Amino acid sequence: METVIAFHEVDDVDHWLSSPKREEFLEPLGGTVRTFKDPAGSNRVGLIFEIPSRAALEEALQTEAAAEAMKFDGVRPETILVLEEG
C-alpha cells in the first residue's frame, strides 16, 4: 500500500465532509481515505489516501468520473496539492 496526502480548498466544508463521492471513487481502486478539515474554519481540507497503486490513482484522477466527483464535492481543482511518502 502507498500513502498519499492531498490538500485543497472546497466551496462548502460540511457538504464535502458528508459526501459519499470519495468512497465511491476509491472503492474500485482498493483504497481507503481519511478526511481532515482546518480547525480555524477556512475552506481548506485534507485527505490521507491508502492505495495499492499511486499510478492507478493518478490515472483515475484524470477521468471524467473524477472531474464529476470533484465538481459535486465543490473541490477547487486549482488548489490541489498532493504529497507522496518519501
pLDDT of residue 78: 95
pLDDT of residue 85: 84
The CA distance from 12 to 44, in Å, is 10
CATH architecture group of domain 2-84: 2-Layer Sandwich (3.30)
The CA distance from 51 to 13, in Å, is 24
Phi, psi of 11 (to 5 degrees): -70, -40
Is the per-residue pLDDT at 84 higher than 90?
no
pLDDT digits (tens, 9 = 90+) for 8-56: 999 999 999 999 998 888 888 898 999 999 999 999 999 999 999 888 8
- Where in the chain are the domains? 2-84
- Whether pTM > 0.75 for this model: the answer is yes
